[in-house]
Chain A
Amino acid sequence: MVIGMALVTYIPRMLPVTLLSRIKIPDLLIRILKFVGPAILASLLAPAIFISDGAVDISFNNIYLIAAVPTFLTAYLTKSIFTTVFLGMFYLYIFTTII
């Protein structure tokens, strides 16, 4: 199982960077790839904070969403991964205790 998981993880990570670094990529593709950074992180994040128990939840019951607001602010102000993750967990703890 571990070998299988290792292979299916390694190949998608390794092939593009190894092959594409050596060929000329069309300008259009470069322009698309430049948006991949923000797009992929937003795609990963959105379900994690907007979906709760299999449904979209935009209410005060969704503490992940509530905690995400000050976490965003912290991220924007500090630009620090550690501070954001640490305070993020702290905010969630506070909101879990209050709500």
Chain B
Amino acid sequence: MSYKSSIKSAFKSALPIIMGYIPIGISYGILALSTDLSPYLIVGMSIFVFAGSSQLIAVNMLTAQATVIPIIMTTFLVNLRHILMSATLSLHFKKTPSRLLPLIGFLITDESFAVGNTLLQDKKENRGLYFLVMGFSAYMGWVLSSLIGVLIGRYFINFKIPVIDFVLPAMFIILLIMQIRDKMDIAVSIIAAVLSIIFFFICPGNWNIIIATVLAAVIGVILEDAI
């Protein structure tokens, strides 16, 4: 596939991610205005942090008068899961130029991981470029949506779209479906779901996601050998 068509299809695969980011980014922008953060810092957070869930959590914590260190700690814990995504994606980038990898890393989100992990499998060449274009398009979508949110909240009305809380779960549902290749994946998903709920109650601060993922993936390999 030529560079041009690669770039085109990468941008196309980012479009659905962007459509999902729009409502989340807008509500982030509006919500963040209710804290002491300046509009520049609100958009700056989207530019430099680029992590939807932790940005929303940070805003919630700021509303609850949290201080800087706990917010950074929580962000760290919430985003530790990207270690696993980053390691998994590395399987696709064996031939990608080294200088692109730090940039690729910056663009890894739940969404770009899920789409990339599915689509990169069928690509023979230009995988790095493909991921960069897809990830960067999604990134721009996120930054612009939060900017729009700030503008709406500042100059129009301060409203909350009532069904907005379901955007993330719905996004996870379709991203999960996209990851399923066979029955073993279904089994691993169910095990991970149960473990994640159990560990949610056992350990605080989002550790449940990492523990459940690692355990379920290991159990999956054990099951594969047993069958």
Contact = CB atoms under 8 A, between A and B. Distances in A.
Nearest to B186: A38
Interface residues of B, number: 94
Interface string B57-97: 01000000000100110011001111111111111011010
B196 A46 contact: yes
A99 interface: no
B117 interface: yes
* Main SS class of interface, B: helix
B140 interface: no
Q: Which 3 A-B pairs have the closest CB atoms?
A: A14-B105, A88-B170, A81-B16
* Main SS class of interface, A: helix
Given A3-B48, A9-B75, A41-B176, A16 B87 contact: yes
Contacts of B101: 14, 17-18, 21
A72 B85 contact: no
Contact of A5 (B23, B54, B220): B54
Contacts of A21: 90, 93-94, 96, 98, 101
A9 B9 CA distance: 28
B162 A96 contact: yes
Contacts of B192: 38-40, 42-43, 46
Given A20-B87, A46-B197, A89-B163, A81 B175 contact: yes
Interface of A: 1-6, 8-10, 12-22, 25, 28, 30-51, 56, 64, 67-68, 71-72, 75-76, 79-82, 84-86, 88-90, 92-93, 96
B79 A9 contact: yes
Nearest to B193: A46
Contacts of A6: 48-49
Nearest to B170: A88
B194 A14 contact: no
B169 A81 contact: no
A86 B173 CA distance: 12
Contacts of A45: 169, 172-173, 176, 193
A38 to B, nearest CB: 4
Nearest to A63: B166
Contacts of B105: 10, 13-18
29 contacts: A4-B71, A5-B71, A5-B75, A8-B72, A9-B82, A12-B79, A14-B105, A15-B105, A17-B86, A17-B105, A28-B221, A31-B224, A33-B217, A37-B185, A38-B180, A40-B81, A41-B189, A42-B190, A42-B216, A43-B212, A45-B193, A48-B168, A51-B200, A81-B16, A82-B19, A82-B20, A86-B19, A89-B170, A92-B163
